[in-house]
Amino acid sequence: FSPYSSASSSMIGPIIEELAEEYGEKVTVGKVDVDSNPKTSMDFGVRSIPTILIIKNGIVVDKHVGVTTKAALAEKIDKALAG
């Protein structure tokens, strides 16, 4: 979740895209523009951006707020896939 024009979005965006490509069909990756989708942001309790949610079977199983590394996000995804 982030506004498409934010600096943090431009830093985390390429990482998210790389992970989407690397994990392929194992995961579904989506981006939500908080400015265009305020209700969705509120529904998921997004208060800071960027916010990355790991959702499994419709339930948020992990969450990260702020910019992070590709390795840290991959670890969260791997954990969700294993669990």
pLDDT tens-digit map of 1-48: 656 556 677 788 899 999 999 999 999 998 898 889 999 999 999 998
Any long-range contacts for 29-34 (C-beta under 8 Å, 24+ apart)?
Answer: 31/2, 31/4, 32/1, 32/2, 33/2, 33/3, 33/4, 34/1, 34/2, 34/3
Q: Write down the pTM of the prediction.
A: 0.85
Please tell me the predicted confidence (pLDDT) of residue 49.
87
Rounded mean pLDDT of 40-69? 93
